[in-house]
Amino acid sequence: MELFTKTLFLCLALALANGAPVQPDAAVDDGDATLPDRCDGIEFDAITPDEKGITFFFKGAHLWKGYHGPAQLSNESFKELDDIHHIGHVDAAFRMHNKDNLGDHDHIYFFLDDKVFSYYNHTLEDGYPKEIQEDFPGVPTHLDAAVECPKGECQGDSVLFFKGHDVHFYDIATKTVKTKTWSHLPLCTSALRWLESYYCFHGHNFTKFHPVSGEVTGPYPKDARNYFMKCLNFGHGGDYKVRKCSDVKIDAITTDDEGKTYAFAGTIFMRLDTHRDGLHSFSITRAWKEVTGGVDAVFSYTDKIYMIKDDQVYIYKAAAHYTLIEGYPKTIKEELGIEGHVDAAFVCPNEHRVHLIQGRKIRSVDLTATPRTVTEDLPLPLSDIDAALCSAEGIKVYKGSQYYEYESPMLLAMSRIAPVPHNITSGMMGCQE
């Protein structure tokens, strides 16, 4: 996780679950002078993800949905904020993390003056708006910012409320508040938790902080336009474009020991297990420095990730960062005892053999034997396979924008006819349907 939080970005080159093609200047170019442009450098009133992992940025009567695209009127998405209050802005917002009370979990809370609004599925919940005191006793009115802090990152499931330099830690289970003063932190007008890190936004800048100690480590502030939105002349570049789901083609896919799932395409990879924060693409070299030309096949075994490109195998040890094991890359022949192009590779949970797909063959190699030798060599009913993933639920075999499901490697090899293919969906890969 460390890695992604430290390098944050590129997120912008990215494919978000709600992704529309990036048009940074759309708001300006279409001549609608009433819409603000976040690339001008905006101090946001509030930032929060919704239950689908789409991040909303609020300023005055407007909001931005996700990391690219023009502003919209916020009353089009959250009607009652405006209806009841007529003040045209929100003070603070956060998404509830409350695994003990699924009735609240993933609801978005908005704070306006002394009122709180709770939305789910973009619909105002019954009984809202309420007085802040009614729902969050001890939390002050006229807040500056708010952010969720789940158990594990804070002591219990909590919410951090910012007002001036005071931070009110609200414990959701006990409904108690502890207040700390973080004078070293800039005055946060909005705050966001993203991929397990915490960000205080101030002006057009942001500062990353520790949610318990408030500690800031590293060179902050940074300009939000380089990281949290796609703006011309800002950011670190990257060549990933949001694709249509029917154009998706992945090279490889794997789930590591910690349950992180990665899909690879060209020189980009995407984490697929972070739905709650949206889907994000990164350059492969950000995580696996030596793998500069993309991959043909990837599999995970024990705490290592094996990346195959042409006739080379790179083995990385997973810790906070992936580290290339000394002596690698080696040839496929040397490492796995086979030759030729590998289309896809997978290891099933609790198994010690890797299944390598090469054209219309599937070869199994025992990863505990030295030297490695092929223990099984079977014909496959499918051709032109791009990638494969094995989990407790079975095997998914990817081919272009579709995938096939099998219960076991044996059934994959033995089936005479291919099962009905499924389409890759936007929920799976962040593409556009």
Yes or no: say if 31 and 223 are a contact pair by the CB < 8 Å rule. no
Residue 77 touching ligand NAG (CB under 6 A): no
Q: Binding residue for ligand NAG (CB under 6 A) from 205, 267, 364, 415?
A: 205
CB of 402 to ligand NAG, least distance (A): 7
Nearest to 408, CA basis, from 391, 421, 429: 391
Residue 323 touching ligand NAG (CB under 6 A): no
Yes or no: say if 279 and 430 are a contact pair by the CB < 8 Å rule. yes
Provide the 3-class DSSP secondary structure of residue 226: helix
Provide the 3-class DSSP secondary structure of residue 3: helix
Contact window for ligand NAG (CB under 6 A) among 76-84, 156-164, 229-237, 351-359: 76-84
Contact window for ligand NAG (CB under 6 A) among 74-82, 93-101, 142-150, 229-237: 74-82
Q: Binding residue for ligand NAG (CB under 6 A) from 59, 62, 193, 204?
A: 204
- Give the pair of three-digit tokens for residue 220: 């902050």
Q: Binding residue for ligand NAG (CB under 6 A) from 3, 20, 28, 73?
A: 73
CB of 334 to ligand NAG, least distance (A): 41
Residue 425 touching ligand NAG (CB under 6 A): no
CB of 73 to ligand NAG, least distance (A): 5
CB of 226 to ligand NAG, least distance (A): 10
Of the pair 246, 323, the CB lying nearest ligand NAG is at 246
Of the pair 133, 246, the CB lying nearest ligand NAG is at 246
Residue 221 touching ligand NAG (CB under 6 A): yes
CA distance 305 to 317: 7
Total residues contacting ligand NAG (rule CB under 6 A)?
15
Q: Binding residue for ligand NAG (CB under 6 A) from 61, 177, 324, 418?
A: 61
Q: Where do the DSSP E strands lie in 26-136?
A: 46-49, 55-59, 62-65, 72-73, 92-95, 108-112, 115-120, 123-124, 130-131
- Give the pair of three-digit tokens for residue 175: 């409904």
CA distance 409 to 129: 54
Residues 6+ away with beta carbon under 8 Å from 27: 35, 36, 37, 70, 71
Work out the number of other CB atoms within 10 angstroms of the CB of residue 230: 22
Contact window for ligand NAG (CB under 6 A) among 20-28, 196-204, 320-328, 405-413: 196-204
Residue 82 touching ligand NAG (CB under 6 A): yes
CB of 245 to ligand NAG, least distance (A): 7
Helices assigned H by DSSP within 174-246: none
CA distance 227 to 8: 7
The total number of residues shown for the chain amounts to 433
Residue 54 touching ligand NAG (CB under 6 A): no
Residue 80 touching ligand NAG (CB under 6 A): no
CA distances from 69 to 229, 233, 257, 277 (A): 9, 16, 36, 18
Specify the long-range contacts of residues 175-178, CB closer than 8 Å, at least 24 apart.
175/136, 175/137, 175/138, 176/138, 177/137, 177/138, 177/139
User: DSSP readout, 80-99?
Assistant: HHHHHH-S---SEEEE---T
CA distance 24 to 230: 6
Residue 419 touching ligand NAG (CB under 6 A): no
CB of 321 to ligand NAG, least distance (A): 26
With DSSP H G I counted as helix, E B as strand and the rest as coil, what are the percentages for the chain, rounded to 5? 15, 35, 50
Q: Binding residue for ligand NAG (CB under 6 A) from 156, 203, 266, 427?
A: 203
CB of 203 to ligand NAG, least distance (A): 3
CA distances from 53 to 56, 194, 370, 371 (A): 9, 10, 45, 46
Contact window for ligand NAG (CB under 6 A) among 143-151, 202-210, 306-314, 390-398: 202-210
Contact window for ligand NAG (CB under 6 A) among 4-12, 52-60, 197-205, 334-342: 197-205
Contact window for ligand NAG (CB under 6 A) among 68-76, 155-163, 327-335, 368-376: 68-76
CA distance 126 to 123: 9
CB of 88 to ligand NAG, least distance (A): 7
CB of 228 to ligand NAG, least distance (A): 14
CB of 221 to ligand NAG, least distance (A): 4
CB of 431 to ligand NAG, least distance (A): 11
Q: Binding residue for ligand NAG (CB under 6 A) from 5, 75, 77, 141?
A: 75
Binding site for ligand NAG (CB under 6 A): 61, 73, 75-76, 79, 82, 121, 123, 202-205, 221, 246, 423
